[in-house]
């Protein structure tokens, strides 16, 4: 992936470029094409906490009612595990599909384990983001606090109360077995909008789709969701294997 490619936005920093395919990391520095993930990952991770909140099914649910229920159960959720399928549509590159498992633990610990088509791991802990690519024997490390545009989203991870401050929330319409919500960020950056699909029976998030102004899009389908499994902090630690090159930005 060449620097400045439209697949990552005009300046090479599109938030959708937060995971890399083997062999795409080319340019002046080894792994240059992959380092973008460290800037925008907080946005994605924070919104994923939506899936932790069960809700007793209704045939209709307005956005205010949905948010009220989310707030009422938020404090009870300490950690979360789920399988995911990610579909990314990048202009000029078509659609790519990834699969794996993700882990969240309050207040700000996250781990993504990609298993298909290539093994990759993403860790967020102690204000650092790490992308580990075992096949390339490379790890990319960046300090999350260097990117204030990600901080509001990281705030969502620890406090659902900020949602109505950060987003204009509309929807609540039921189509089939799904309740639909639209989240429009009130800040300048982040992303253009997010579409959230909620299973009306269990009120778990079944799908999350994020849109960039450039036209790029990524969606996540979730299954096998488990909460409060007493995940240990060490699950979110990255220990550098022997022979792995570490790049810090």
State if pTM tops 0.75: no
pLDDT in tens, 156-212: 444 566 778 878 889 888 888 888 888 888 876 667 888 888 777 777 778 888 888
pLDDT score for 64: 82
CATH classification of 6-238 is 3.90.1010.10, yes or no? no
Instruction: Please tell me the least confidently modeled range out of 27-31, 134-138, 226-230.
Output: 27-31
CB 57 within 8 A of CB 203: yes
Per-residue pLDDT of 47-88, as tens digits, reads 554 444 444 444 556 788 876 766 666 567 788 899 999 998
CA atoms of 18 and 182, how far apart (whole Å): 22
Please state whether beta strands 178-185 and 167-175 pair in parallel, antiparallel, or not at all (unpaired).
Answer: antiparallel
**pLDDT at position 19 over 60:** no
Quick one: pLDDT band at residue 137, thresholds 50, 70, 90? very high
Between 241 and 2, whose confidence is greater? 241
40 has pLDDT over 60: no
User: Taking the domains of the chain in order of start, what are their residue ranges?
Assistant: 6-238
């Amino acid at each position: 992936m060449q620097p400045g490619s439209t697949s990552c936005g005009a300046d090479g920093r599109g938030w959708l470029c937060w995971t890399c395919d083997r062999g795409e990391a080319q340019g002046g520095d080894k792994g240059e094409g992959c380092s973008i993930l460290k800037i925008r990952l907080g946005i994605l991770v924070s919104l994923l906490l939506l899936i932790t909140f069960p809700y007793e099914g209704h045939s209709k649910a307005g956005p205010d009612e949905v948010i009220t229920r989310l707030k009422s159960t938020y404090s009870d959720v300490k950690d979360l595990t789920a399988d995911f399928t990610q579909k990314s549509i990048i202009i000029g590159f078509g659609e790519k599909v990834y699969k794996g498992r993700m882990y969240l633990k309050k207040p700000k610990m996250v781990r993504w384990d990609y298993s298909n088509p290539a093994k990759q791991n993403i860790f967020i802990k102690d204000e650092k983001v790490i992308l580990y690519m075992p096949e390339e024997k490379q790890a990319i490390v960046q300090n999350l606090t260097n990117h204030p545009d990600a901080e509001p989203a990281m705030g969502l991870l620890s406090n659902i109360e900020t949602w109505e401050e950060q987003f204009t929330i509309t929807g609540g319409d039921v189509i089939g077995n799904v309740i639909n919500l639209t989240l429009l960020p009130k800040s300048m950056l982040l992303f253009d909008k997010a579409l959230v699909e909620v299973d009306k029976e269990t009120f778990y998030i079944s799908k999350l789709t994020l849109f960039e102004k450039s036209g790029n899009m990524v969606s996540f389908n979730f299954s096998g969701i488990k909460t409060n499994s007493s995940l240990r902090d060490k699950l979110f630690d990255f220990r550098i294997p022997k022979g792995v090159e570490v790049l810090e930005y």
